[in-house]
Structure 1
């Protein structure tokens, strides 16, 4: 329901009819559009390989919205080792894959709404049932994104993020 109430933007003063509850990055921060034609590079909506040496999966950082039943989410990319990426690909369409042990990864999405870089935060990538993107759990540090994932955010914070992303960011709404 929260997404139906809209919000008045603090940047432009306009009323936006919908409050976005999720944003997503189209590719890892290290992806270059020039890679698109290379034989050893691949980018899909869920997986990425760069130069046959760097491996990424897309997942969700979910943040509870305090005082509601809603979740705010970031669609982000995490790097995986070659072995873990191969295992994730092998299990991609396998029912029961959510029983996999979480994979270690590094966050490779820059979220500019935070004062400190989000690149290279340590993560655990939890596989979910077929058809669902993995859950990305951040290491419990004092980074503002990790704190928000642990403690939640207010609806005012969701509005603040929306104003920033809509006017200054490049996040796509999911």
Structure 2
């Protein structure tokens, strides 16, 4: 049986319980847009769209689940991916009753702390039932995040990442 994640933080000396979970309020490309572009666009809790000099841009919020060895729940990152207009429209059209067999290609759109450049990593978006955010599968590569996603991380590594992110050291 897998354990529940908890650790005594080396930075603040407190006990933290439950697998780490961090999220981003918006895709990084949205945050880089001028105020006028943002005002003409839309940022919601699960979808984002705008038009810039490169054309129309579409994003959805997803979950990246990194397994922690020996722990029941994964390390969670609430991140954003960009989708094509066709995939975005399909996602929005099926939002209330997603087809869990759908797969959307997406580009990773947040720079995760702790990891080298994560922007633009290739993903496969997988919708889930019961109003759960979709999860993503990272394309296999030698990028440290892709390696962690596919191979899992140790409890010690999960603690190191969590401490660094919680205390702004990443």
TM-score of the aligned structures, taking structure 2 as reference length: 0.86
- Contact 1:80–1:103 (CA<8 Å) still a contact in 2? yes
Runs of 4+ in 1 over 3 A off after TM superposition: none
Deviations 1:111-161 (A, max 9, x none): 0211x2000001111111141111111110110000011110111111111
Rounded to whole Å, the distance in 1 between the matches of 2:79 and 2:106 is 12
Tell me which residue corresponds to 2:101. Answer: 99
The Cα of 1:16 is off from its aligned counterpart by 2.2
1:60–1:6 CA distance, 2 compared to 1 (3 A): same
Q: Cα distance 1:36–1:130, how it changes in 2: closer, same or farther (>3 A)?
A: farther
1:52-104 deviations in whole A, cap 9, x for unaligned? 7100011111111101222111111000001100010000002x52122x100
- Structure 1: runs of 5+ lacking an equivalent: none
State the match for 1:132 in structure 2.
Answer: 132
User: Structure 2 matches for 1:68-107, cutoff 5 A?
Assistant: 68-94=71-97, 97-100=99-102, 102-107=103-108
The alignment yields a C-alpha RMSD, in angstroms, of 2.1
2:38/2:50 contact within 8 Å kept: no
TM-score with structure 1 setting the length: 0.85
In structure 2, how many angstroms separate the alpha carbons of the residues matched to 1:30 and 1:169?
23
Structure 2 unpaired stretches of 5+: none
* 1:49/1:56 contact within 8 Å kept: yes
Counterparts of 1:134 and 1:35 in 2: how far apart (Å)?
Answer: 30
Equivalent pairs, count: 162
Shift in alpha-carbon separation, 1:35–1:139, aligned structure 2, 3 A: farther
